[in-house]
Structure 1
Amino acid sequence: MTYLSIRRLRHLSCVLLCVTLLTQCVAPALLLAPQGQLMWALLKPMVGLDPKEANLFKQPLIQSRLEPLLGSHYAGAVQLLETADKIQQEGPLFYVVSKYTPVPELAEKAGFVWNSETNQMAVLLVSGGAPQVFAEKLNSEVAAQIPVWPKELSDYTDPAKLQQQAISKAKQQLSDKIPVPAAVAPLVDNATNLKDIKGQTKNLIEEKKQSLVDKAISPLIDAKQQAEQQVQQAKEQSTQAVLTPINDAKHQAQQQVEHVQAQATQAVLTPINDAKHQAQQQVEQVKGQAAQEVSTPIDDAKQQVQQQVEQAKQQSSSALVAPAIEQKHQAQRSIEQLKTNIAIPQTQTAPGSELVVEDDLAAELATEQESLKTEQSQRINALQQQIKAAEQQLKQAATADDRKKIELQLQQLKTTLNLLKATH
């Protein structure tokens, strides 16, 4: 067999030994029921803490099990247990032992134990030297099962020690009731001392045996505790290893959801914005068309009115100036004709006769102009009345077309009126 094969065999043997130790020492903790796992997770970090400051007996996992277990003894037991200075662990046992009794008439000592291997909870109350045990049933088939207690409570739970305490107490009571004669007292004391020596020797032997056992088991207990710590670390690492991908996946899922929400929002808002933009463009187009449709007739009407104004100006100018010019020409022709008909020599013409004729013509022109002004005034008054009537019709117009027609007519009347006023 080669050196490499020997090394592999040794390595395999070490691995098998570690697996065996883990299986024997820690497997029960890993195979706990869900409630037992919760209790382990609750109590393990509290080891070494003050149970009162840590509110141990107010935790729902413990309180919900102790109240039905203790019944009427619950308040007194918790009051005694909260005098303990710390929560302790001994192998699979998590326990609390009272240090003193605030209510001696109720109980002298109290202890609380939870066995992580069996998930059994038990409470010990010592009253008048007599222990009273309250233990949970492990299942419905087993009526009762004696719980496992830590060493600190062995004086109150070991049957041999309880028997010895009862005998000592009975002897004390008997000696108190039946006094020993003075002559016999030394013999009784010697016998008692011998018995005490025997008992002490026995106790020393038991302690020595227990010391040897503890010394032999101590490496195994240390290995077990180390294995428990390693298993706890492995559990924490495995929990972290499980939770990290879950948290990462959750974070990624949240990011994807937010991305999908943003895309969905964009997909919803984009058509809405496009439709809104198109609607605005259509509204602007319709406004432009409507403005074009409205402004085109107005511009045409305005142009027509301007043309009519120009025509009216020309016509009014012709109507006003042409007759005066024609009358002036006629007057001049009449004067020339009168001069010809009368044939008055220039030397015999009376002074001022030409002035008289010209004054008559001027008077006739003045009369004609006065009549023209009167006609213009009448036309102005008529236009003003027509404008008032058109404004009244505009107020009473029922449709937009009627309003446009009336506004166009009103504009033409006002333009004509302004023109007449300018030439008046």
Structure 2
Amino acid sequence: MPTAAHAHAHALDLGRFVMASPSSFHAAAEGARRLAGEGFEVLSEIDAWPGGPGKYAVVRDGALIAWTVPEGAGATTPFRILGAHTDSPSFKLKPKPTTGRLGWLQAGVEVYGGPLLNSWLDRDLRLAGRLVTLDGAQHLAATGPLLRFPQLAIHLDRAVNEGLALGKQQHMNPVWGLGDPSAEDLLGVLAEAAGVDPYEVGGFDVVVADTQEPAVFGAHGEFFASGRLDNLSSVHAGLVALVQAAEATDAEGAPIAVLAAFDHEEVGSASRSGASGPFLEDVLARIGDGLGASAGDRRRAFAASWHVSADAGHAVHPNYPERHDPANHPLLGGGPLLKINANQRYATDAAGAALWATVCGEAEVPYQEFVSNNDVPCGSTIGPLTATRLGIRTVDVGIPLLSMHSARELAGVQDPWRLSRAVERFFAQAG
């Protein structure tokens, strides 16, 4: 199959992954489901884990870590870790979600992360996440099209095209029906979707998600539009690459390949399932325990390890060139980004840049450098967090996007596949 066909097929499968993953909890479950179908054993954290070679995965809340232990792996075998995140900017249901006035049913939501508010207006939206019943059991729930943030008509705001100002509390209250809020129950709708008794629901973590299907389009089919490309594009690339890497676990000197897809990156990563939490360190320690590693062995393994932090980055915007660095203009379709920042908002250094150049060269994948305009504050990723927490060498990469943090983001159709190809080579890098 030609390269273009590979990239197109990868994009379509990414679209299916996105539609199956409207929340971080769904993304982790869908990733585990796909890996189980490829022969990975999905483990529980409360059970003892196998110690030998094999393919494994574990889910903690909305995060997923999966890995392959090759034949011949020992106490000091290094890790090759692909870090990504399962969450995206959105809106999260408040504890009393059923609200409304003037005959409208509305949902009480809290802004999650930093969404482009206007991009969520006038779209058909759904609710998705987990419900936890009083017995402690967790249930995934996802509705069909249910909500909408209706925009005020231009007839009632003649100056709207001169500047739209949206209040997060006043204006971002989606409608979901007509009626009396005291007689309706949004939580009941979710419980029905999950197949549980609403009176048994003790807690919930539920977000708003777009319902529009991802699409390939453009003059030559070069564009790919979808919700949650930041950062399901990296999670999906890691899943595809890990499955491929698992087929080479008997290669001499093969490292332990790890996909770490964390939750809560968009709100700072400070949680038990976020990159600042203990999840990755817990898993790496248990892998080492299974291989008979001492504390000293584990440090030796970490010193020889690499972490690629894969998160979406910015393509140059043709209508706002002044917001970008004058000399670095990454384009959609030009290959994944190598993300660089002098102030360590990204963890890339010279050694990491050389590693990325090597794996992209071996994968026959072009890549582009990204650096911010000095007058525009630079965002950050999980890369510096993992480098700081574990001391593992880290490089920051990701596919370029336009409309980042929109309800519907825009990528080049070639770039997600190219990222996966490069990560596959990275997983195979020995020594």
Which structure features the higher share of helix residues? Answer: 1
Computing the radius of gyration from Cα coordinates, the structure with the larger value is: 1
Which structure features the higher share of strand residues? Answer: 2
TM-score by length of 2: 0.16
TM-score by length of 1: 0.17
Higher relative contact order (CA 8 A, sep 6+): 2
